[in-house]
Amino acid sequence: MTADVTAADTAPPAAPGRSARWQRAKDAVVVLAALLCTLVFAGGVDAFMLEARLDHFPVRLPDDGPGTTWLLIGSDAFPNAHQSPRYAGQRADVILLVHSGAPRASIVSVPRDLLLGTAQGGVERAALALDSGGPQELVDGLCRTLGVAVGHIGVLTREGFASVVDAAGGVTVRIPAPVRDPSVDLEIEATGAVHLDGPQALALVRSRHPQHLVDGVWQRLREHAGARERAHNAGAVFDALRRVAGGLKWDPVRLQRVLWAVTGALSVDSGSELTDLIGMLHGAGRLRVLPAAALPSTIAVTADARTRGMLAAVGYPGSCSPPG
């Protein structure tokens, strides 16, 4: 049998068939190469377009040492000038420190009412640092007060945040009790693992005076407890969003939709690129809310030994010199 086949293969009439197979193989290789080239070209064009959509702003950053530290800021800036002058400018609603690489990955939610030292020797709330001196003031304040050196910054507006969550298909967050806050249109009756769309997730991270339904009674949290819950919710929503992004490797259509939304809504420092952003989204790490001490007569909180202890526990060295 084998001998017959071998004989048939070596016989002269078989030559045209082999040639035809060879030709088909060549055609297939050419088609595959063309497809590959098209894909590479399309990918390149797509990456170029996504990169071009990212807004960049100049900022001086300190050396962030081992690993990569992102400072993510959720700004409350209105898309158009607000009628009331007191809403002008932008304040930081959400402040997240996302570290990946050595020594360990972590997500730290910084209370927006944390006092940061200024260059003049005074203090200001982190939320207002963004308004008074832009991202640079926040970077310098975190460096000066907490010894945290930031390597990349991303600033997201509130509308941009909602659009990113919607593009990801929503996020699933754990809600321990029904929560509402009329001042930001928040009303979530479900408990447990709750799926939220963009506006719901935005309302959750913006809520400063949440009320929880406990034993049939709506109970409002005190000022500092509300602020702490807000910081926790901001981190939880970001963590959920990052988990969704990590699962989109095999869903190119939705991944593209998310990246399109992110690049259209996010402003980053001039040294950051799309690849840095993707690296940050694919990282992992436990979420922590930075503890701080309450002060009398003010909503502001100040860093204490617990604050520095937690930062040291997640791997921040605690020393940083503001860039000159």
Write down the least CB distance from residue 310 to other proteins, Å.
17
Say whether residue 148 binds other proteins (CB under 8 A).
no
The residue from 47, 123, 177, 278 that contacts other proteins (CB under 8 A) is 123
Helix intervals (H) in the chain? 2-10, 15-53, 126-146, 158-167, 198-206, 223-246, 252-265, 274-281, 305-313
Residues 15-54 that bind other proteins (CB under 8 A): none
Q: How far apart are CA 152 and CA 218, in angstroms?
A: 41
Q: How far apart are CA 119 and CA 237, in angstroms?
A: 33
Say whether residue 291 binds other proteins (CB under 8 A).
no
Say whether residue 240 binds other proteins (CB under 8 A).
no
The residue from 16, 79, 121, 324 that contacts other proteins (CB under 8 A) is 121
Write down the least CB distance from residue 92 to other proteins, Å.
13
The residue from 64, 93, 124, 181 that contacts other proteins (CB under 8 A) is 124
Write down the least CB distance from residue 96 to other proteins, Å.
21
Task: Report cis status (omega within 30 of 0) of the bond before 322.
Answer: no
The residue from 86, 192, 249, 250 that contacts other proteins (CB under 8 A) is 86
Max Cα-Cα span within the chain: 100
Residue 64 CA to its chain's centroid (Å): 18
Cβ atoms of residues 64 and 149 within 8 Å: yes
DSSP H or E stretch at residue 302: strand 301-302
The smaller minimum CB distance to other proteins, of residues 107 and 115, is found at 115
The smaller minimum CB distance to other proteins, of residues 20 and 88, is found at 88
Say whether residue 118 binds other proteins (CB under 8 A).
yes
Q: How far apart are CA 239 and CA 242, in angstroms?
A: 5
Say whether residue 80 binds other proteins (CB under 8 A).
no
Q: Inter-axis angle of helices 223-246 and 198-206, to 10 degrees?
A: 150
Say whether residue 119 binds other proteins (CB under 8 A).
no
Which spans of this chain sit near other proteins (rule: CB under 8 A)? Answer: 85-87, 89, 91, 115, 118, 120-125, 128, 131-132, 295-300, 302
